[in-house]
């Protein structure tokens, strides 16, 4: 399995969520609404989820193996860091 595309929308808010991403897997399958979170132990990705009637959040889609989770997290966070660096360059040049 390869992450063949990552699309990212940065979120300008005071909260912990910093961006929302979509990934394409093997140019065949897309997962939307992956969140980039600034957690207590650093940045991580949270898979798309929805709130159940009892107020709990349940993943809609998620990797089964830790190696797949790491591939997804690495691809999304790499794109997030690239976008943040590009934004800094634009701000310096403005």
Question: What confidence tens digit (pLDDT) does each residue in 16-44 have?
Answer: 999 999 999 999 999 999 999 999 999 99
Instruction: List domains and CATH numbers for the chain.
Output: 3-93 (3.30.1120.40)
Number of Cα atoms under 13 Å in the Cβ half of residue 41: 2
SS3 call for 87: helix
Rounded distance between C-alpha atoms, residue 5 and residue 65, angstroms: 20
Of the ranges 20-29, 41-50, 85-94, which one carries the lowest mean pLDDT score? 85-94
Looking at the chain, the whole-number percentage of residues with pLDDT higher than 70 is 93
Q: With the CA atoms of 13, 15, 16 and 18 taken in that order, what torsion angle do they form, in degrees rounded to the nearest 10?
A: -10
Identify the band that residue 93 occupies on the pLDDT scale cut at 50, 70 and 90. Answer: low
């Amino acid at each position: 399995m390869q992450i063949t595309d990552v699309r990212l929308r940065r979120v300008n808010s005071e909260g912990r969520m910093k961006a929302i991403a979509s990934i394409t897997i093997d140019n065949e399958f897309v997962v939307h609404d992956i969140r980039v979170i600034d957690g207590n132990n650093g940045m991580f990705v949270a898979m798309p989820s929805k709130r159940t009637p009892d107020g709990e959040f349940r993943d809609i889609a998620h990797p089964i193996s830790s190696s797949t989770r790491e591939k997804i997290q690495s691809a999304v966070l790499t794109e997030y860091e690239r976008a943040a660096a590009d934004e800094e360059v634009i701000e310096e040049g403005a």
